[in-house]
Amino acid sequence: MKILVLGSGAREHAIVKALAAENAGHELVCAPGNSGIAADARCLPLDITDPQAVLSFVTESGYDLVVVGPEAPLVAGVADPLRERGIPVFGPGKAAAQLEGSKTFAKRIMSAAGVPTGGATRVDSVEGAAAVLDEYGAPYVIKADGLAAGKGVLVTEDRVAALEHVEFWIRHGEVLIEEFLDGPEVSLFFLADGHNVLPLSPAQDYKRIFDNDEGPNTGGMGAYSPLPWLDEGFVAEVTETVAIPTVRQLEAEGTPFIGLLYCGLILPEAGIRVIEFNARFGDPETQVVLPRLDSPLSAALLAAATGTLSAHEPLDVAEDVAVTVVLASENYPESPVTGRELTGLVEAAAVPGVQLVHAATEERDGRWFATGGRVLSVVARAESFAAARERAYEAIALIGLEGGQFRTDIAERVA
């Protein structure tokens, strides 16, 4: 197939690597991509948040499948004109993408579908927020309603900090104050074709910047899969109580969800609850979920895009484990220092069972530079968590980046 992947981060690189690993002769193009992705696919410049620009590009070049990676182009509606032209596209339309683009919308859908989630109250003023904070009590959970690049969520015991977070984000729109739920978190991806769903393997990511889950939230500093501590029937339960009701509710409202339904879950004593939905593959969980997939990813994505998941076999997943550790720039997430040189990438990639997934890198005359906060993911596969951790940390220790930082406790408790 001729496949176009839209995006430029580690998530898109992981998707491209999974497609390339099929050795099926696919013609892979990534727009706009990055220097790391360019080793696995042809990268071309394109404004992926402009629906008409994407439509023109796709119709002129001819593609069998378009995979939309990040949330911004989904919320901008790039999938809609493609789908109207009959082009298979993996990614929800603008209306369904509000499942991620608006937390208020997501809560309404969950309520209508009977999906278990925590309580939440929408506020549009600092004064109103103060009263709601007192009603819920500490720890306080505050979420910006719209897209916030992983920075809109704050969980804190500090009421003053909570109000300051509300005051900052309320300038950009509404804010939700939510019930605090305590328990282990799980990310579970579902391919959806507007009516049916197909689950992938669960993963767990690490949001805080520092070891022991300390410091501010980030876009994710590492992840691992599978989760051996989950009950055997976990995936089936989430499928029946969360994924299918959500997709069917969106279908009933005339906004079918076709693409990747990311279920961000928490497991308090009362049972499974949804923290949030995303409308695309998660980063860094994708980096550990897709390498364990033995079924061809392209066929599964195409089945979702063409409404034929009911005829697709359950996905075959390898028994080995995967661990990813994210290398970030100095001062990430507040004000990352960029433009510094990266060294040791060849040596790191040569560690057995390791691959490097690039998020924000640029190659200039044979030298590599960091261009963003989260720079790259070191992904390791092995037969055990102990071996995968050892490989991942051996590889990341070989990479030089002035001021670079990474967590040292990814998957430590399951090793």
Q: Which two tokens stand for residue 129?
A: 């927020």
**pLDDT single digits (tens) 153-180:** 888 899 999 998 988 888 877 888 988 9
DSSP 27-73: EEEEEE--TTGGGTSEE----TT-HHHHHHHHHHH--SEEEE-SHHH
Domain assignment present for residue 97? The answer is no
Q: DSSP 3-state assignment of 261? A: strand
- HSE-up (13 A, CA, CB side) for residue 13: 26
Q: Do residues 129 and 223 both lie within one domain?
A: no
β-strands 214-217, 153-156: how paired? Answer: unpaired
- DSSP state for residue 329 in the 8-state scheme: -
- 363: its two tokens: 């190659």
End residue of a domain, out of 142, 157, 178: 178
Burial of 108 (0-12, 13-18, 19+ CB in 10 A): middle
Question: Does 333 lie in the same domain as 262?
Answer: no
Residue 283 CA to chain centroid, in angstroms? 4
Are 305 and 190 found together in one domain?
Answer: yes
- Say whether both 302 and 207 belong to one domain: yes
Q: pLDDT at position 364, please?
A: 96
70 preceded by cis ω (within 30°)? no
In a domain, 57, yes or no: yes
Q: Of 105, 173, 411, nearest to 287 (Cα)?
A: 411
The DSSP line for 360-374 is SEEEETTEEEE-SSE
CATH number for the domain spanning 139: value is: 3.30.1490.20
Among 161, 178, 195, which residue terminates a domain? 178
Looking at the DSSP bridge assignments, the partners of residue 187 are: 203, 264
Separation CA 19–CA 24 (nearest Å): 8
Q: Check: CB of residue 123 under 8 Å from CB of residue 129.
A: yes
Determine contact, residues 357/36, Cβ cutoff 8 Å: yes
CB 119 within 8 A of CB 178: yes
Expressed as residue numbers, the domain containing 409 is: 321-414
Q: In the prediction, which pLDDT does 276 show?
A: 93
**pLDDT, tens only, 3-54:** 999 999 999 999 999 999 999 999 999 999 999 999 999 999 999 999 999 9
The token pair at 201 is: 């393997």
Closest by CA position to 106, among listed 69, 71, 54, 55: 71
Domain boundary among 148, 178, 208: 178
Q: Residue 13: what are its φ and ψ, rounded to 5°?
A: -65, -40
Question: Are 171 and 188 found together in one domain?
Answer: no
pLDDT at position 155, please? 87
Helix (H, G, I), strand (E, B) or coil at 355: strand
Q: Are residues 279 and 366 in the same domain?
A: no
Domain CATH number, residue 370: 3.90.600.10
The bridge status of strand 42-43 relative to strand 27-32 is: parallel
Q: Give the separation between CA 404 and CA 343, rounded to whole angstroms.
A: 11
Residue 95 domain-assigned?
Answer: no
- 294 plus 405 within the same structural domain: no
In a domain, 163, yes or no: yes
What CATH number is associated with residue 203?
A: 3.30.470.20
The DSSP secondary-structure symbol of 38 reads: G
- pLDDT number for residue 145: 80
Q: Are residues 399 and 292 in the same domain?
A: no
Q: Assess whether 305 and 250 both reside in one domain.
A: yes
59 shares its domain with 163 = no
Residue type, 183: G
Residue 61's domain is classified under what CATH number? 3.40.50.20
* 115: in domain: no
> Minimal CA–CA distance to 104: which of 70, 152, 163?
152
In the sheet that 185-193 helps form, which strands lie side by side, from edge to edge?
197-199, 185-193, 258-266, 273-278
Q: In this predicted structure, what is the pLDDT of residue 148?
A: 60
| Peptide bond before residue 226 is cis, with ω within 30 degrees of 0 | yes
3-state secondary structure of 388: helix
Cα distance between residue 158 and residue 283, in whole Å: 28
Q: Does residue 231 form part of some domain? A: yes
CA atoms within 13 A on the CB side of 142: 31
Residues 140 and 260 in one domain: no
> Could you say which residues of the chain have pLDDT below 50?
none
Specify if 284 maps to a domain. yes
- Please state the domain count of the chain: 4
User: Same structural domain for residues 12 and 37?
Assistant: yes
Task: Please state whether the peptide bond connecting residue 139 to the residue before it is cis, i.e. omega within 30 degrees of 0.
Answer: yes
Distance CA 309, CA 148 (A): 32
Q: Is 98 inside a domain boundary?
A: no
